[in-house]
Structures are given as structure tokens and as C-alpha cells.
């Protein structure tokens, strides 16, 4: 007996979902191998000191970058129009040194992760010209993706998710309000800030 519904089709797995776990596994194996090579050459105590130093240095870098980002956010919010002491400066003008906080935090995180490759990558992110170059690349990539994106595609996805039932059927309808009823005798007061 047939039900009239098509058989479920298996969704094709994207390349990213296939290769990212493999890349992470290869990276972990390479990190462990490098740590064993360094332990053979310099000793296990040296590797332990390197790992502890990486955690401490990474925590210091992340803490300072987080404080700097919070300070920049506070300064930006204080310059917003309508705030006491707000000048004529545009709120969009970023304070000096505000660029690269995300890359500084990422660098600190990479330094904290045990391993030599991640430590080198984290230390490279601490160099200002490297952060500036990566920031420009990220901006160009984001601009390119925004240009190729179709207008409304993100909101359309939410709209479709909202009006479809879990079984895939669309529920059509409209809201009908009963306008013949009497308004409340004691309406609620408006919310005040």
C-alpha cells in the first residue's frame, strides 16, 4: 500500500562538514607529534614549561584585548548622541587602536591551546601588520559575500521556517479579531523607562 508521500531523500553532505573534522584531526596529530619531537630533544620538563607559559601568555593577551575592547565600546557608547558630554564627533568614528581586538583575542586563544603550531599562529596574530593584513582580507571577503547575497534571503529563511509546520505542510490562515467586545474597564498603564 502506498501513502502518496515521496520517499525521504538523503541530504548531501557539504564539503566543509567532511573536511573540517579531518583537518582538525590532522592538526591534532601534528601537534602531538611536534610535542613528542621537542620532548625527545629538549626534555619533557621543557615541554611542560612551554605549555604552561603558553597558557599564561594567552590568558594575559586575551585579558588585555578584552579590556581594550570593553574600553572602546564604553567610549563609543558615551559618544552617542543624547548622552551627557557627547561631542559633535560621529559615533561611527572608531577610537584609535580599536581595530584587531578580535584577532588579538584569537591569538591569545591559539597561544593557550596546547601545541607548537597553534602557539606560532597565535604569536603571528600578535604582530600588528599581520593583524592589519588579515583585517583587510576579512573585510574584502565579507564585502564580496554581501554583494553576491540575494536581498531578503536571510529574512525569507526565517519567514519560511515560521510558517511551515515540522512535517513540511504550509498552514494558511488569517487572524480574526473580535471587534464587538467592550474594551477593558481598567487598562494597564503604559510602560515607562
List per-residue pLDDT tens for the chain, 193 residues long.
556 666 666 677 778 888 999 999 999 999 999 999 999 999 989 999 999 999 999 999 999 988 998 888 888 888 877 666 555 555 455 445 556 688 889 999 999 998 899 999 999 999 999 999 998 998 898 888 777 766 655 555 555 555 555 565 666 677 777 666 665 666 666 676 6
The pLDDT of residue 91? 47
The pLDDT of residue 35? 92
Per-residue exposure over 129-161, b if at least 16 CB sit within 10 Å of its own CB, e if not = eebeebeeeeeeeeeeeeeeeeeeeeeeeeeee
Angle in degrees, CA 46, 103, 141, rounded to 5: 130
What does the DSSP 8-state code read for residue 90?
A: -
Amino acid at each position: 500500500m502506498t501513502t502518496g508521500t515521496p520517499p525521504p531523500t538523503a541530504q548531501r553532505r557539504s564539503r566543509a562538514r567532511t573536511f573540517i573534522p579531518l583537518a582538525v584531526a590532522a592538526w591534532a596529530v601534528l601537534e602531538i607529534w611536534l610535542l613528542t619531537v621537542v620532548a625527545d630533544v629538549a626534555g619533557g620538563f621543557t615541554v611542560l614549561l612551554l605549555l604552561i607559559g603558553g597558557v599564561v601568555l594567552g590568558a594575559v593577551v586575551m585579558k588585555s584585548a578584552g579590556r581594550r575592547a570593553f574600553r572602546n565600546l564604553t567610549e563609543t557608547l558615551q559618544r552617542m548622541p543624547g548622552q551627557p558630554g557627547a561631542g559633535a564627533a560621529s559615533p561611527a568614528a572608531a577610537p584609535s587602536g580599536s581595530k584587531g581586538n578580535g584577532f588579538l583575542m584569537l591569538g591569545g586563544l591559539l597561544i593557550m591551546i596546547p601545541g607548537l603550531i597553534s602557539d606560532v599562529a597565535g604569536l603571528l596574530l600578535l604582530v600588528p601588520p599581520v593583524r592589519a593584513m588579515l583585517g583587510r582580507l576579512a573585510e574584502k571577503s565579507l564585502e564580496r559575500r554581501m554583494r553576491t547575497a540575494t536581498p531578503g534571503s536571510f529574512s525569507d529563511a526565517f519567514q519560511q521556517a515560521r510558517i511551515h509546520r515540522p512535517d513540511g505542510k504550509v498552514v494558511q490562515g488569517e487572524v480574526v479579531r473580535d471587534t464587538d467586545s467592550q474594551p477593558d474597564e481598567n487598562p494597564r498603564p503604559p510602560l515607562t523607562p
